[in-house]
């Protein structure tokens, strides 16, 4: 099976991993942090941070010729599970129909001290 690295100059990679990899018609998007790709600024408000992470995922999907309707699974890592309802409300606006399967986990610490991280898997239709 051949794999294709989906890279974008919009998202600097901070370690030995790819932003996204396509293999077998599936796109595996590495965990995205609430970082504004234009400024490199970390967003520390949970509402704005959630929107930014999901927007970053949209940008990566667009690079691959896809959109949010291609997403079949996400995993959300929250620094504080008390933020679940706020994150859930914003998340729902990005997946208005047929939302993907999802897991949500509270993590005691996330990279760069961020409030959340979301990873996603998408498929070509």
Q: What is the domain partition of the chain in residue ranges? A: 3-123
Q: Output DSSP code: residue 82.
A: G
pLDDT 10s digits, 74-102: 999 999 999 999 999 999 999 999 999 99
pLDDT(70) > 70: yes
Q: How many Cα atoms occupy the beta-carbon half-sphere of 55 within 13 Å?
A: 13
How far apart are the C-alpha atoms of 20 and 98, rounded to whole Å?
A: 23
pTM above 0.85, yes or no: yes
So what's the pLDDT on residue 57?
A: 96
CATH 1.10.260.40 fits 3-123, yes or no: no
Q: How far is CA 24 from CA 2, 7, 66, 86, 89, in A?
A: 7, 17, 15, 34, 32
So what's the pLDDT on residue 43?
A: 97
Per-residue burial over 10-33, b if 16 or more Cβ lie within 10 Å, else e, is ebeeeeeeebbbbeeeebbbbbbb
Size of the chain, expressed as the number of residues it contains: 125
Task: Let me know: does 32 contact 56? Beta carbons within 8 Å.
Answer: yes
């Amino acid at each position: 099976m051949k794999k294709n690295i989906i890279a974008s100059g919009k998202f600097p990679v901070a370690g030995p991993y790819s932003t996204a990899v396509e293999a077998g018609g599936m796109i595996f998007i590495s965990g995205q942090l609430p970082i504004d790709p234009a400024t490199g600024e970390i967003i520390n408000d949970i509402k704005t941070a959630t929107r930014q992470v999901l927007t970053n995922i949209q940008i990566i999907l667009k690079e691959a010729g896809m959109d949010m309707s291609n997403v079949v699974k996400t995993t959300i890592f929250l620094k504080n599970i008390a933020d679940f309802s706020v994150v859930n409300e914003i998340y729902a606006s990005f997946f208005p129909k047929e939302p993907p399967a999802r897991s949500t986990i509270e993590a005691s610490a996330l990279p760069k001290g961020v409030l959340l991280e979301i990873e996603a898997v998408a498929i070509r239709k």
